[in-house]
Amino acid sequence: MGREKVDTLLLVFACLLVVANHLGSNASWISASAIGLMIWRAWLTLNGRQLPARWLLLAIASLLMGAIYWQFRSFVGRETGVAMLTLLLACKMLEMHAKRDLFVVVFLGLFLLLTSFLDSQSLGSAFQVLVSAFSLLLAQLSFQFSEKAPSLWVRCRLILKMLLLAAPLTVLCFYLFPRIQGPLWSLPSDANIARSGLSDSMTPGNLSKLAMSEELVFRVKFLEETPAKSAMYWRAIILSQFDGRSWTQIAQAVPQGAIKLEVKGKPLAQEITLEPSNNQYLFGLDSVSKTPELESMASHLNALGEIRSELPISKRLRYQVFSQTSYRLNADFDAQQIQINLRLPPGFNPETMKFAQQLRQTFPDPASRINAVLRYFREEKFYYTLEPPPLGRQSVDEFLFSSRAGFCEHYSGAFVVLMRAMGIPARVVTGYQGGLRNTQDGYYEIKQSDAHAWAEVWVEQAGWLRVDPTAAVAPDRILRNLDATQKNTGIAGIVNKFIVQNSWTNDLRMRWSAVNNAWNQWVLNYNQSKQESLWQSLGLSSINWERTLLTVFVLGLIVLAIFAIPLLSHRTKLTIYDKLYLTFCKKMQRRGYQPAIHEAPASYALRLHEHLTTAQVTDVNKFVALYLQIKYGKPTTNLNEKIQQLKGLLKKIK
């Protein structure tokens, strides 16, 4: 196979790696179209076929652009732009006729790699981008050799050397180049794509679907004391409005003013690293006593104990929060709040209403009524499952007296309905419960599978109290995790036993998670405040932009000099006879007979014959013949004598 074919196939392979970075974000037909076009290019190369005609390429490109507009209804936007770049890269591969087309493909591929960081900046994604960029550079380098190319390993080593030369300056610029708050340019309107997570409403089934996801929500590091896992309730959303099926937020349910929290004991300090969610929910251990301070935006702690950021969280966020596990929340009587949290829609769940009245007559005080409902859940045949049966219009009736199988939203919702029907103010709280401690770095990892719903009831003089009816049915869910409540059989059971519960794989998974966390903390979360702290430690606290840029520039030159100066000593030194031949070429050049770059000495001398006299031709032939004998002939002992002869012949040539 010829060199040109090999180099082209290497470029096709590199571009396929680039497209692979967007397989999870691009629509399936976009990735399939790009891969199909590149495979077509590889087939044409292998079979020595001509590239498609320009009219055919225009037709294909127009069809693909029309399909993009049909799907996105616009040519503007982040997703649209990435999709267009992906398809244009594939089309350009079918239009490579000159070396400049190669540079267009390589630069387009590198830019497309950059856009992959808009979707994921994890350590795995960074490694995948690095491999793809390395392949592109290797393909570009392979095309630069006009003669026989060195082996693949030699070319790889050359690329590695280039990257290593660039690495010190890259690290220096990363840590010292001034950082500013906010983006350098405005992203399109679809840049903040919705992500899965908690919703401001709760319907039977939505939390159980969310709990099947292992997506990371946030990491927590307890700075001092670590509470018991059963006390780890991460409060997020208060739901007070019930329409017979769904629970939603209601603006009137948020009292005016600050939170009324009476605390006991020492607060628990936590450092939370929150993943991007594009919503405004902040988390802290229930109950947060002070509004956390954010670096890039303001936050607010309302009277219900909910924490909200000023803007949607579109990037990873780290903050400290202080919580109290022993507290009284809003213990003062508030008629409006009591009324809001006693409302029930008329015409729904008659059996539940009847059951609540029986309990109300049997048990006189709120505490005994609460315990009666929890005992009912505990002693009757209720089941905790991720796949509960669907419920109809009378959802609470069907759950309590028919299916008796549900997830946390079923138990918390039914519990609150029973409380309100018995005259006890109650509401639903959604958030997360528990978390998995990483034994490698000590951080707790809270994932979507930890999503949970519980209840709060208002008791006179005690305020709002947390009651978790799920704990009465499935205590392992609270004491351990969700997996402890699920019985896996068949293949799922085998996989769970030998892979998920295997100590070696768990240790490997935690190590990888700890590495990712370190990447997040020290690279992705390196912001302006951290840079200012670094400057202070280096004695550069009063630095300004001009001095900083000058310092970076000078340090960059010093680093380049450190690596470049040793390389200069390894430059190929011209021999005396090569210098004499170059002097001969310059003499001829002054007369208008410049040698071509690819022209050998013998061919050059032959071309000069038609411009020189017979005597000059003889002298030129003797000079070139002696030069070739010295340079390519066998080693001789009278080299100096021949060099003197070469000098004499050069002087004769006028």
Judged on CB neighbours under 10 Å (0-12, 13-18, 19+), 474 is buried
Task: For Cα atoms 360, 361, 367, give the angle at the middle one, nearest 5 degrees.
Answer: 45
Catalytic pick among 7, 397, 450, 468:
468
Contact 238, 412 (CB under 8 A): no
- Report cis status (omega within 30 of 0) of the bond before 287: yes
CA atoms lying within 13 Å on the CB side of residue 139: 29
Q: How many other CB atoms are found less than 10 A from the CB of residue 600?
A: 12
Tokens, residue 287 = 């109950």
Contact 291, 210 (CB under 8 A): no
- Cβ neighbours for 291, distance < 8 A, ≥ 6 positions apart: 299, 300, 301, 307
Q: How far apart are the first and last CA of the chain?
A: 49
Catalytic pick among 7, 408, 410, 619:
408
Number of helical H runs and strand E runs in the chain: 23, 19
Quick check: is 468 catalytic? yes
Contact 174, 550 (CB under 8 A): no
Contact 295, 527 (CB under 8 A): yes
Catalytic pick among 286, 397, 450, 452:
452
Quick check: is 619 catalytic? no
Report the chain's C-alpha Rg in angstroms: 37
Residue found under tokens 């077509």: 40
- For residue 139, the surrounding DSSP H or E stretch is helix 123-142
Quick check: is 452 catalytic? yes
Give the residue numbers marked as catalytic: 408, 452, 468
